[in-house]
Amino acid sequence: MQYPPAEPGMREEDVETPALVLDLDAFEHNLDTMAGALIPTGVRLRAHAKTHKSAVVANAQILRGAIGQCVQKVGEAEILAWGGVRNILVSNEVVGPKKLARLMALSRIADVAVCVDDEAQIVAAEAAAEAAGRRLTVLVEIDVGAGRCGVTPGPEAVALATRIADSPHLIFGGLQAYHGSAQHIRDPEARVAAIASASEDSRRTVEQLRQRGLDCPIVGGAGTGTFALEAGSGVYTEIQAGSYAFMDADYARNASPPPFRHALFVLATVMSRAVPGVAVVDAGHKAIPTDSGYPLVWERPGLAYVGASDEHGKITIGDGAAPALGEKLRLVPGHCDPTVDRFDWYVGVRKGRVECLWPIGARGMMA
Amino acid sequence: MQYPPAEPGMREEDVETPALVLDLDAFEHNLDTMAGALIPTGVRLRAHAKTHKSAVVANAQILRGAIGQCVQKVGEAEILAWGGVRNILVSNEVVGPKKLARLMALSRIADVAVCVDDEAQIVAAEAAAEAAGRRLTVLVEIDVGAGRCGVTPGPEAVALATRIADSPHLIFGGLQAYHGSAQHIRDPEARVAAIASASEDSRRTVEQLRQRGLDCPIVGGAGTGTFALEAGSGVYTEIQAGSYAFMDADYARNASPPPFRHALFVLATVMSRAVPGVAVVDAGHKAIPTDSGYPLVWERPGLAYVGASDEHGKITIGDGAAPALGEKLRLVPGHCDPTVDRFDWYVGVRKGRVECLWPIGARGMMA
């Protein structure tokens, strides 16, 4: 585990780098903004822990009205449940008897649910639940446009739901209908069209299930890029946004960016000024993954992060004050989720001072 | 920390996923091949731990003749020194008094050296060494073509070396002359030209230092893509290759790939087959970073890894047998270094059976 990079009371510029800095004012603003946006819709927030990987953040979201959390991995569910989170949906398929056994063990301290998109997964879930002597809630994932996981909406989904409902140790929990790729569509009209289609797929499937006597307590999906659309659809009951708590550079590039502030930064130190026109910082792509583009340099016009190697970030110096050797810069990650997963600690900062350190307990929990 | 994903004696197909699998036969072949290639040149191997992040691997390299290790970060140096490695070069600038103090503390149990490319770094290193009551070996980094860190070869480097030699608690250790970007040049002739230029820059600087009465015990550089060129240059004394131990898909794409075998794999499970023509595995870019391209699917013709999201890898199914739900696939990482940094354990495998688990102690040690 990484050393704690700071102590409460310290000035931000004294934090050891690279460090993951959470601006607490912006973070709380984001939680309040999402809660406020959802109240008039009546749709619940089940925030996604794949972004934050921390029971501390999960509990802050729940304190502000989130009904629980989503995760992608059993290991993430464990960290949350051990940290007091009581309502967890694995918004993903879980394949393998050991992982299912861990999920059943966890069901003794939290309400857990899982998704399927194949009959074999239902058979395995039933066996795991029976072996544990418990019942497990199972959702059917439908493919509403991402082309990744999920069965075709309609009769295929109804067949799986019926199979779940007919399994003595399983409870049919509803539909998982997440359109991941729509989150990052730059054109607002195309985003609207994608979610309209996803909502119609979901609505049709819900209706067909109802005709078979099967209710959908959960119709879940949506991320930070589209949540208002799903929330207004009349069919989704739960919003699974994660990035809204932090915001990243990629979401900010959308033509109509969501109303959240940048709250998450990688603090980096200028470690070389030897090459003219270049500042090198100690955060390369091991610290700030570049799968959604390079980070932005925060509130330093003229500085552009233009290249990442494993341990070095290359910043070009345009007009304006050049950074000094040893100076610390805030970088806005291109993509929050993999960036958070590189750190063991959030350094919570308010008005330039370190207020708290929070462990990122689910960092690296991929199994 | 991640759960150990396996136990010795287990079959590889029973390992929990995603897991980092090390094929021990191929790994040992690679270590022997590098040792054999360097013997006739008389050039030493100081293998780079930024790739493997593990004292166990470092000690295996040293057992086969490596004289020590390189690292990029003080935290990596600590993990190696605590694991018995006695000779460590931080092939990078270390900026900040706390990091320098940690390096000096470490100098009590290992021979450590560090690089500089600025006079202010020399002043800080002298202060840290004086405060510790010890002497520290310092190399001057020169920019031989990468345009990242390092002063211009020639008089600028000589000025810094003189400043080091004049500092009472510092020892001038030589030159760091790594041409990082040359490692990945696809055209063999262009690679040769890049290293010829780097070697000439280094030779000229060594000569100017000699005229000032300053010897260079170390002239270090080279990676897996070019090591034979530096080893044959007559000026480099140490080779800093890291990836040779594992090999990755990016190095294999070179027109003249180096003579090493793929030894490192991410083992992944097929977790969804719901979308026609697609298999989804449980290793996305959080498990297998894509900064140097997507992974290859090992010994499964017709399967192509074509898309990575955070926790999902999308594989298209061409002609040939389609993988079953639950089947495990070996993926060859595009880039070893950041991939290793995502795992806490190597699962050492020989002929289909797990032989050992090795901790990746320096995972995430970025400070």
Mean pLDDT over all residues of chain B? 97
In a domain, B232, yes or no: yes
Domain identity same for A282 and A225: no
Nearest chain B residue to A278, by CA: B148
Bridge partners of A71, per DSSP, are: A90
Is the backbone of residue A289 left (phi > 0), alpha (psi -120 to 50) or beta?
beta
Nearest C-alpha neighbor of B222 from the set B43, B27, B366: B43
d(CA A282, CA B215): 30
**Could you tell me if B293 and B323 lie in one domain?**
yes
Q: Please list, in sequence order, all residues whose beta carbon lies within 8 angstroms of the beta carbon of residue A63, skipping any fewer than 6 positions away.
A: none
Domain boundary among B216, B247, B278: B247
Cis peptide before B18, with omega less than 30 degrees from 0?
A: yes
Q: Taking the model in full, what pTM does it have? A: 0.97
- Name the amino acid, one letter, at B56: V
pLDDT-based confidence at residue B70 (cuts at 50, 70, 90): very high
Give A145's contacts (C-beta < 8 A, 6+ positions apart).
Answer: A179, A181, A182, A194, A197, A198, A201
Is the pLDDT confidence value at A335 over 80? yes
Residues of A in contact with B151 (CB under 8 A): 274
- Residue B1 falls inside a structural domain: no
Residue A320 has pLDDT above 80, yes or no: no
Residue of chain A whose Cα is closest to the Cα of B343: A364
CATH number of the domain where residue B328 is located: 2.40.37.20
In a domain, B36, yes or no: no
Q: A291 and B270: CB-CB below 8 Å?
A: no
Give the end of a domain, one of A246, A276, A291.
A246
Test the A interface: residue of B282, B336, B342 with most A CBs within 10 Å: B282
Residue B253 in any domain: the answer is no
User: Are both B51 and B80 inside the same structural domain?
Assistant: yes
**Strand A278-281 vs strand A264-272: parallel, antiparallel, or unpaired?**
antiparallel
Contact criterion met (CB < 8 Å) for B16 and A50: no
Would you tell me how many other CB atoms lie within 10 Å of the CB of residue A143? 24
Residue A98: the pLDDT is 97
Q: What is the CATH number of the domain that holds B178?
A: 3.20.20.10
Residue A25 covered by a domain: no
For residue range A93-128, what is the model confidence (pLDDT) as tens digits?
999 999 999 999 999 999 999 999 999 999 999 999
Tell me which residue of B10, B112, B7, B18 sits closest to B343, measured CA to CA: B18
**Minimum-distance CB partner of A291 among B273, B285, B344:** B285
**Per-residue pLDDT, A167:** 98
Burial class (CB in 10 A: 0-12, 13-18, 19+), A173: buried
Asked if residue A201 has pLDDT above 80, the reply is yes
* Number of domains composing chain A: 2
In 3D, which of A141, A152, A230 has the Cα closest to residue A191?
Answer: A230
To which residue do tokens 């009472």 refer? B168
Q: Measure in Å the smallest separation between the Cα of A275 and chain B Cα atoms.
A: 6
Minimal CA separation from B131 to chain A, in Å: 20
CA–CA distances in Å: residue A309 to residues A22, B31, B63: 24, 25, 30
Regarding whether A211 and A71 lie in a shared domain, the answer is yes
* Whole-number pLDDT of residue A1: 87
Residue of A nearest to B151 (CA): A274
Pairwise CB contact (< 8 Å): B274 & A73: no
**Cβ contact A134:A107 at 8 Å:** yes
Is the pLDDT confidence value at B256 over 90? no
Q: Tell me, what's the pLDDT at B327?
A: 98
The beta-carbon neighbor of A338 closest among B148, B285, B364 is B285
Do A209 and A352 reside in the same domain of the chain?
A: no
Same domain, residue pair A163 and A288: no
Pairwise CB contact (< 8 Å): A96 & B3: no
CA A214 to chain centre: 29
Interior/surface letters B160-169, b for 16+ CB within 10 angstroms, e for the rest: bbbbbbebeb
B296 domain residue, yes or no: yes
Distance between CA A162 and CA A115 in Å, rounded? 14
> What is the per-residue pLDDT for B320?
76
**Which of A222, A246, A270 finishes a domain?**
A246
- What 3-state DSSP class applies to A106? helix
CB pairs under 8 A between A and B: 186
In contact, B126 and B213? CB cutoff 8 Å: no
Same domain? A220 vs A264: no
Evaluate whether A203 touches A196 at the Cβ level (below 8 Å): no
- CB nearest B367 (choices: A5, A96, A285): A5
- Residue showing tokens 């919570």: A348
On whether both B276 and B211 belong to a single domain, the answer is: no
Q: How confident is the model at residue B281 (pLDDT cuts 50, 70, 90)?
A: very high
Q: What is the pLDDT confidence band of residue A256, given thresholds at 50, 70 and 90?
A: confident
Region for A341 from its dihedrals, namely left if φ exceeds 0, alpha if ψ lies in -120 to 50, beta otherwise: alpha
Whether the pLDDT of residue B95 is over 80: the answer is yes
pLDDT above 90 (res B108): yes
Label residue A321 by pLDDT band (50, 70, 90). Answer: confident
CA distance A45 to chain B (A): 21
Position A36 scores a pLDDT of 97
ipTM for the complex? 0.96
Q: Does A269 map to a domain?
A: yes
**In a domain? residue A251:** no
| Interface contact A16-B367, CB threshold 8 A | yes
What is the mean pLDDT of the segment spanning A17-37? 98
Same domain, B144 and B239: yes
Give the rounded percent of residues in chain B with a pLDDT score beyond 90: 96
Burial class (CB in 10 A: 0-12, 13-18, 19+), B126: buried
End-to-end CA distance of chain A: 18
* pLDDT, averaged across chain A: 97
Tokens of A131: 């072996």
Chain A residues within an 8 Å CB radius of B268: none
Q: B45 and B238 in contact (C-beta within 8 Å)?
A: yes
DSSP one-letter code for A134: S
CA dihedral A296, A330, B308, B301 (to 10 degrees): 90
pLDDT (tens digit, 9 = 90+) per residue, B193-252?
999 999 999 999 999 999 999 999 999 999 999 999 999 999 999 999 999 999 999 999
**Cα distance between residue A132 and residue B313, in whole Å:** 31
pLDDT bracket for residue A163 (50, 70, 90): very high
Beta strands, E only, B29-104: 44-48, 68-71, 87-93
* Containing structural domain, residue B109: 43-247
How many angstroms separate the CA atoms of B243 and B342, rounded? 16
Among A324, A91, A331, A225, CA closest to B95: A324
**Mean pLDDT of the region B26-45:** 97
d(CA A341, CA A360): 8
Say yes or no: B238 and B291 in one domain: no
A275–B149 CB contact, under 8 Å: yes
Q: What are the chain A neighbours of B280 within 8 Å (beta carbons)? A: 148-149
Is there a single domain that holds both residue A152 and residue A282?
Answer: no
- Same domain membership, residue B317 and residue B243: no
Which residues of B are less than 8 Å from A269 in CB distance? 95-96
